[in-house]
């Protein structure tokens, strides 16, 4: 997009087409190159246009509205398949819940980016293979490898979504960083839609109760069942057509929660010493410990993605650096705990999966921490930190493939 803007800078018609094709990307790329275009009348016009704060909300083109509506309806129908065909919910949802979201978001960006047929075939083929594979695994609810495959499959589909998002710029690390930023914006917008939906649900049910109608069962079985899969689609469409809705909220969340989480982690690590609990002998506590680790790491990456898009105060970089260091300590505790459990009670699919994930996360955190230190000491730009984050993502993708496809075979589906 950046090269296209520069090449068409004196062609107003082509610039308008580029803008309408992808407003969020156009604004981001133009903002990056605007400082070097000072004096250009057309560039000055676009700068004013793109930074004009409007209260109006764009719902996108008619074709985009139709696409989102049809995709949302189809996602809702898929969510209701167990009810329509008497399929066991215990069988269907753990294996297929990620297919209610990621393929539709992937299709949205494939349509927006006008991906070539070869890439569409590649993406569609991988999704189809995953769909067939996860549903033909033996139906053993006690199988650890089945549970691991169901847990890791969303991460695999998330990476495929990233491929669709990047389009023909997959090799561009800034585009991958944009994808991380999009995930943060999507989470913020989805949370707002869910809160609005909860409020509407309470009001609707309450109003019908006042006139003697009990609509709870119908409402949750059909309205909520179709509404929940639609949330990510609607949120994605809103963030792409109205980047101004969240481009101020997300940075505030990142800057507000980073220091708070840092303080919480330090206090939490100290409290563990007096709690009597430890991840070495308490399996559930180790699980929660790893969930905490992943959540904090996601916050660090989201904060870096948001900060790299604009100038950031040195204090914010130091907060991220300290948060990374403390997170490495948390990871070290989790890694030593799972190593202890393997040495004491032997190898199981769950322990190997957790061990592998913790090793990969530790390496990634060390790389990011080194780059954050360089950024904090002015030896590297903050954008280099983002580069160290996104270039490591394929490693997680490979590990996910191993867990989803090879673990069931290596451990005999147990």
Share of the chain residues as helix, strand and coil, in percent rounded to the nearest 5: 80, 0, 20
Query: What is the Cα–Cα distance from 259 to 6, expressed in whole angstroms?
Result: 39
Q: What is the pLDDT of residues 283-328, one digit of tens each?
A: 788 888 888 888 888 888 888 877 765 556 678 889 999 999 999 9
Mean pLDDT confidence for 249-254: 75
CA dihedral 346, 349, 351, 357 (to 10 degrees): 150
Mean pLDDT confidence for 141-170: 91
In the predicted model, is pLDDT for residue 93 greater than 60? yes
User: What is the predicted pLDDT for the residue at 241?
Assistant: 83
- Which of 65-74, 241-250, 273-282, 338-347 comes out lowest in average pLDDT? 241-250
Query: What is the Cα–Cα distance from 414 to 167, expressed in whole angstroms?
Result: 38
Q: What is the pLDDT of residues 96-130, one digit of tens each?
A: 999 999 999 999 999 988 899 999 999 999 999 99
User: What is the predicted pLDDT for the residue at 54?
Assistant: 57
CB atoms within 10 A of CB 141: 9
In the predicted model, is pLDDT for residue 15 greater than 80? yes
User: What is the predicted pLDDT for the residue at 164?
Assistant: 94
- Give me the chain's average pLDDT, please: 87
User: What is the predicted pLDDT for the residue at 30?
Assistant: 80
**3-state SS assignment for residue 89:** helix
- 4 compared with 262, residue with greater pLDDT: 262
Query: What is the Cα–Cα distance from 150 to 97, expressed in whole angstroms?
Result: 9
DSSP 414: -
Phi-psi bin for 212: left (phi > 0), alpha (psi -120 to 50), beta?
A: left
CB contact set of 244 (below 8 Å; sequence gap of 6+)? 53, 54
In the predicted model, is pLDDT for residue 149 greater than 90? yes
User: What is the predicted pLDDT for the residue at 52?
Assistant: 64
Phi-psi bin for 167: left (phi > 0), alpha (psi -120 to 50), beta?
A: left
Mean pLDDT confidence for 72-94: 92
CB contact set of 132 (below 8 Å; sequence gap of 6+)? none
User: What is the predicted pLDDT for the residue at 26?
Assistant: 81
User: What is the predicted pLDDT for the residue at 311?
Assistant: 57
Mean pLDDT confidence for 127-137: 96
Mean pLDDT confidence for 386-412: 92
Q: What is the pLDDT of residues 189-208, one digit of tens each?
A: 999 999 999 999 999 999 99
| Cα Rg of the chain, angstroms | 23
- Residue % of the chain over a pLDDT of 70: 95
Query: What is the Cα–Cα distance from 387 to 384, expressed in whole angstroms?
Result: 5
Phi-psi bin for 276: left (phi > 0), alpha (psi -120 to 50), beta?
A: left
Answer yes or no: are the C-beta atoms of 335 and 287 closer than 8 Å.
no
- At 110, phi and psi to the nearest 5? -65, -40
User: What is the predicted pLDDT for the residue at 304?
Assistant: 82
Query: What is the Cα–Cα distance from 246 to 185, expressed in whole angstroms?
Result: 6
- At 11, phi and psi to the nearest 5? -120, 90
Query: What is the Cα–Cα distance from 70 to 76, expressed in whole angstroms?
Result: 10
Confidence of residue 160 (pLDDT cuts 50, 70, 90): very high
Answer yes or no: are the C-beta atoms of 254 and 306 closer than 8 Å.
yes
Q: What is the pLDDT of residues 331-366, one digit of tens each?
A: 999 999 999 999 988 999 999 999 999 999 999 999
Query: What is the Cα–Cα distance from 283 to 275, expressed in whole angstroms?
Result: 16
From the list 121, 93, 108, the residue with the least C-alpha distance to 161 is 108
User: What is the predicted pLDDT for the residue at 387?
Assistant: 87
Give 271: exposed, middle or buried? Use CB within 10 Å, 0-12, 13-18, 19+: exposed
In the predicted model, is pLDDT for residue 141 greater than 90? no
User: What is the predicted pLDDT for the residue at 308?
Assistant: 64
User: What is the predicted pLDDT for the residue at 229?
Assistant: 92
Domain spans of the chain?
Answer: 2-50, 68-244, 248-410
Answer yes or no: are the C-beta atoms of 41 and 9 closer than 8 Å.
no
**pTM, whole model, 2 decimals?**
0.83
**What's the full length of the chain, in residues?**
414
User: What is the predicted pLDDT for the residue at 257?
Assistant: 84
**3-state SS assignment for residue 150:** helix
In the predicted model, is pLDDT for residue 236 greater than 70? yes
User: What is the predicted pLDDT for the residue at 137?
Assistant: 93
Q: Calculate the alpha carbon distances from 414 to 166, 227, 287 in Å.
A: 37, 36, 20
């Amino acid at each position: 997009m950046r090269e296209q803007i520069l090449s068409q800078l004196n062609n107003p018609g082509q610039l308008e087409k580029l803008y309408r094709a992808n407003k969020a990307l156009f604004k981001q790329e133009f903002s990056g190159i605007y400082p070097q275009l000072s004096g250009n009348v057309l560039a000055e016009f676009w700068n004013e246009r793109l930074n004009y704060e409007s209260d109006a909300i764009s719902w996108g083109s008619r074709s985009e509205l139709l696409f989102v509506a049809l995709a949302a309806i189809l996602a809702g129908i898929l969510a209701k398949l167990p009810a329509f065909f008497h399929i066991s919910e215990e069988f269907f949802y753990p294996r297929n819940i990620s297919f209610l979201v990621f393929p539709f978001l992937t299709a949205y960006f494939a349509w927006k980016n006008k991906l070539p047929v070869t890439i569409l075939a590649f993406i569609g083929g991988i999704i189809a293979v995953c769909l067939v594979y996860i549903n033909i695994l033996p139906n053993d609810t006690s199988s650890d490898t089945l549970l691991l495959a169901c847990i890791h499959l969303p991460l695999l589909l998330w990476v495929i979504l990233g491929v669709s998002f990047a389009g023909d710029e997959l090799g561009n690390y800034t585009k991958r960083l944009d994808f991380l930023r999009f995930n943060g914006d999507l989470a913020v917008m989805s949370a707002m839609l869910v809160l609005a939906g909860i409020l509407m649900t309470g009001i609707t049910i309450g109003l019908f109760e006042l006139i003697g109608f009990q609509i709870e069962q119908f409402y949750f079985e059909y309205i909520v069942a179709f509404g929940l899969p639609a949330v990510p689609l609607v949120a994605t469409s809103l963030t792409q057509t109205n980047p101004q809705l969240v481009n101020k909220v997300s940075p505030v969340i990142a800057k507000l929660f980073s220091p708070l989480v840092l303080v919480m982690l330090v206090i939490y690590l100290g409290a563990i010493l007096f709690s009597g609990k430890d991840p070495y002998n308490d399996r559930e506590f180790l699980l929660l410990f790893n969930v905490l680790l992943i959540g904090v790491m996601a916050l660090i990456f989201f904060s870096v993605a948001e900060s790299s898009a604009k100038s950031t105060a040195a204090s914010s970089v130091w907060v991220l650096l300290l948060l990374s260091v403390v997170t490495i300590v948390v990871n070290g505790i989790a890694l030593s705990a799972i190593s202890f459990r393997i040495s004491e009670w032997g190898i199981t699919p769950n322990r190997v999966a957790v061990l592998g994930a913790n090793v990969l996360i530790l390496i990634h955190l060390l790389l990011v921490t080194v780059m954050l230190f360089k950024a904090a000491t002015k030896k590297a730009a903050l954008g280099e930190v983002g580069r160290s984050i996104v270039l490591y993502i394929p490693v997680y993708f490979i590990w996910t493939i191993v867990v989803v496809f090879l673990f069931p075979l290596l451990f005999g589906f147990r």
